[in-house]
Amino acid sequence: MNSEIPVAVPVDYTKVDIIVEEIIDTVTGYMTGISREVVQEEIYKAYHFARKAHEGQYRKSGDPYIIHPTETAHIITILKPDLVTIQSCFLHDVPEDTPVTVAEIETEFGPSVAHIVSGMEKLSKVRYRGEDRNIGSMRKMFIAMSEDLRLILVKFADRIHNMRTLEFHPEPEKRHRIALETLNIYVPIADRLGIFDFKEILETECFRILYPEDFRRITDELAEMKTEQDLFLTRATELLSSICPDGIKIYEISSRIKSPYSIYKKMTRKGYEFVSEIYDLFALRIITENIANCYELLGMVHNQYMPSPKRFKDYIALPKPNGYQSLHTTVLGLLPEFRRLPTEIQIRTMAMHRQAEMGVAAHFDYKETGSSTISRDIFWVQELKWLIDKIEDGDFMGEMKTNVFDDRIFIFTPKGAVINLPRDSTPIDFAYAVHSQLGNRLSIAKINGKVCPLDSILHNGDRVEIVTDKNRRPSVTWLSFVKTSRAKEVIRSEINREQREILIIKGRMMLSEYLEKHYGKGLDKDLSLLKHVDDRTLDTKGKEEILLQIGNLSRKPSSLVRSIAESMSPQLQREFLPIQQKAEPVETGFKKIEAEHSFWDLIIGWQKNIAYRFAECCHPVPGSRVVGYVTRLWIKIHRVSCSSIKKGSLDRLIPSNWSNVPVQNTKMRMEVLVENKIWVLRKISDIFYLMLINIEEISQKVEGEHGELARLYLLVAVDEEDYYLYERLVERMKLGIPEFKEAQLTEMV
C-alpha cells in the first residue's frame, strides 16, 4: 500500500512521533525489569532506522509510509511483547520496499530481529487462491511460525492495520481478495493460538468488507440496544458483587459482547432474523483469585439462579487445546425485569483471563535485555512441527485444517486419562493417539462400554476402551475414515510394507475408474498418462509409486489428474484427457468466480435461479461439493464437509449442485445373504442411513430348504467417491447384524 510521491516540503512526523511515545510508555509500564532509558533507546533506534529507509514513500491514504510500521508496533503492544518483537514491527517492510537488506538489519539489530523481518518478507508472498494453491508458500509460513511464534504476532498486527486502512485501496477486487485471505488463513491461526483480541478485530474487519450490508444491519441493531444493554450489565454487575461470599477476592466483574461477525454466524446458523433473538449475545465475567474460588462462585451462582443443564462447561478441568480455561454457565432469572433470555456467566482466575485474551503471547519469558522466548513445548507448536515434517504438499492444507485449526474434543481412557483429538475422530484415531502399537493391534473398540464400529464418530466426553489382538494388523479401509495425521502415517507405513502389491492394483483400478467416469477412457497397459508427474519423468517403479499413493489414499485421483493436466500441452490434453475442460473445474480466485457466474449456475432443489448466498464459514467455490441450508432470510450454500451444517437441523438441508458439474457419487450393485427374520431389513437400512448411503433399488429372493435365508439384491449410491465404501459397509454389517451371512460386490456403476 505504498507509493512514491515527490517530496516538495518537509514531512511532518508529529503524529507518528506521538504514537512512538505512547509505545514507549506502554512498554515501560509492563516491562518493569528494564529502565525507561533502555526501552526508549531500542525503540527509537528501530523507528529512526525505518523512517530513514522509507523516506519518500507514502501510503495510499496519503500518510508517510512510516505510519504503517509504527501503527503495527502500537497494535502489538496489546500482547505485551518483547523489544525484539516491537523492533521487528518497525522494520518489517524495510527489506521488501527499500534497498536495505536483511543482512544490514542483522548487523544493526541482531539475528532475532533479522529472522522475524526475513520471515515477514516471505509471508508477504502468501496469497489465498483456494485450498490447493500456493501450498509451498503456506508450508514456509508454518515452518517460520514453528521456529519463532513472534513472527506470526507481527504479521497479525501488520494485517490488522492494513485491514483498517483497506478502504483506501482503489481496487474492490483486491480488497475482497485480501479480506478473504485474512478470513481463511490468519483468523483461524489467531483462534488456534488463543489470541482472542486479534481474532475478533480481524474477523470484524473482514466482515465489514465482505458483507457490508449485513455488517451495517447488525452494528445498527447493536447500537439501538446499547442503552438497554448497558443498564442491564451495570445492574447485573452490582447484583453479583453484592451476593459474592465473604472471603472470596473478586478482582473484576465485567462483560463481553459478541462480535458482529460472531453474531452474523449465529444468526445464519440458527435462522434468526434479529440480533435480539440471540440469548448469549453477551456474557458476564467474574475474575477471582484462585481455582477454588472459581468453583465456590459457581456454587453461589447456581444457588441463586437456575442453571441451564446443557449450557455448563468446565474448561478448567478440561482446557481447550489453545490453553483456554474458564467455567461457563448459563442461568435463568437474572434481573427478569430487564431481561427474559438466559444469561451466560464466565468465572476464571486472573492468569486464566490473561491466557484467554492473549493466548500464546501470555507465555512471554522476558530477559534482562528486553528479549524473550515463548515456550517451544506448548502443544500447538509440537503438533505444528510434527505436521510440517510428515505431511506431503498435496495433503498439507487439509491436514492443517483437521489437526491444527479444527475444533477439538476430549476423550477419556478407561483409567480416566484425557486424550485430545480433532472433532469427528474415530476409535482408531484414539488408539493411535495413545500408542502406535495399540492402533496396530486394535481388534474391538468400546465406546461408553458398548462395542461399536471402528468408523464410529467420537463425541466430547466419550470413554473409549480398546481391545487388542496380537494377530491383527491395520486395514487399508481405515484410511478412508480416520482423521488424524498420526493415525494415517502409521497405518500407511504398515500397509505399504505388508500390502504393497494389493495397494498398487487397487490404485490402478481407482485411477482407471476415475478416468473412465470423467474422461471416457481409462489407463492403458503402459500407464502412459503417468509418464510425467510432479515435473519428473517416471519409470515403471515411479509409476507404481503413484498408484501406491492412490491405493493408500494419500493422493486423490482428482488432484493427480489436475496436476498432470496443468503441465500438459493442449495437444496432449486432447489426447489423454479429451473432455478435461468440462469435467475438471478448477477452483479460482474470488472475483474470477463472480465474472464467470453464468457458467457456474447453481441448481438448488433441482431448480435454477433460486436466490442464495455463500456461507462465510466454509467459503464454497464453483466446482466444490455443496449443499443448501434454508434460513428464514435466504438459502446459504455450504460445502458438504462444513461442520456448521452438522450442528443445524437436517430438515433444513436442500440438495444443491453446479449445473456444469456432474453429481459426484459412487454406485454399486451388491448381494447380501442374511437369515430370513423379522427386523433384519430394518437393521440393514439403519446401517445404510448412518453411512449416508442411498438404496436406489432392492429386491429379495428366499433361499434354503425351509426358506430360512434371504438374498438381497441392492443398487446403492453415496454422494462421494469412496473407494473403500464396500469394505466399510461389510464390516458394519458383520458387527451390527447377527443374522448377516455374507456379501458380494457384483458391479461398480
Catalytic residues: 96-97
Distance CA 348, CA 287 (A): 5
Percent helix / strand / coil, the chain, rounded to 5: 50, 20, 30
Distance CA 426, CA 424 (A): 7
Residue type at 42 in one-letter notation: E
Whether 688 and 698 have beta carbons less than 8 Å apart is answered as no
Whether 484 and 422 have beta carbons less than 8 Å apart is answered as yes
- Angle between helix 680-690 and 725-736 (nearest 10): 140
DSSP labels, 70-101 = HHHHHHHGGG---HHHHHHHHHTTHHHHSS--
Helix (H) or strand (E) run with residue 564 in it: helix 557-567
Residue type at 523 in one-letter notation: L
Smallest CA-to-CA distance from 276 within 267, 285, 288, 265 is with 267
Task: Provide the b/e sequence for 368-382 (b: ≥16 CB within 10 Å).
Answer: eebbbbbeeebebbe
CA angle centred on 101, ends 96 and 103, rounded to 5°: 140
Contacts of 96 (CB under 8 A, 6+ apart): 120, 121, 124
CA angle centred on 484, ends 193 and 451, rounded to 5°: 125
Whether 723 and 480 have beta carbons less than 8 Å apart is answered as yes
Whether 733 and 672 have beta carbons less than 8 Å apart is answered as yes
Cα 222 from chain centroid?
A: 28
Contacts of 14 (CB under 8 A, 6+ apart): none
Output the CA–CA distances (angstroms, integers) from residue 536 to 544, 546, 555, 673, in the order listed.
Answer: 14, 12, 17, 48
Smallest CA-to-CA distance from 667 within 695, 708, 703 is with 695
Distance CA 638, CA 614 (A): 7
Q: State phi, psi for 421 to the nearest 5 degrees.
A: -135, 160
Number of H helices, E strands in the chain: 30, 26
| 454 three-class SS | coil
Contacts of 52 (CB under 8 A, 6+ apart): none
Smallest CA-to-CA distance from 551 within 492, 504, 512, 501 is with 504
DSSP labels, 646-706 = HHS-GGGEEEEEETTSPPP-EEEEEEEEEE--TTHHHHHHHHHHHTT-EEEEEEEEEESTT
Q: State phi, psi for 360 to the nearest 5 degrees.
A: -65, -25
Q: State phi, psi for 402 to the nearest 5 degrees.
A: -70, -45
Distance CA 670, CA 725 (A): 12
End-to-end Cα spacing for the chain: 54
- C-alpha cell of residue 241: 458483587
Smallest CA-to-CA distance from 466 within 509, 496, 507, 433 is with 433
Residue whose C-alpha cell is 492444507: 397
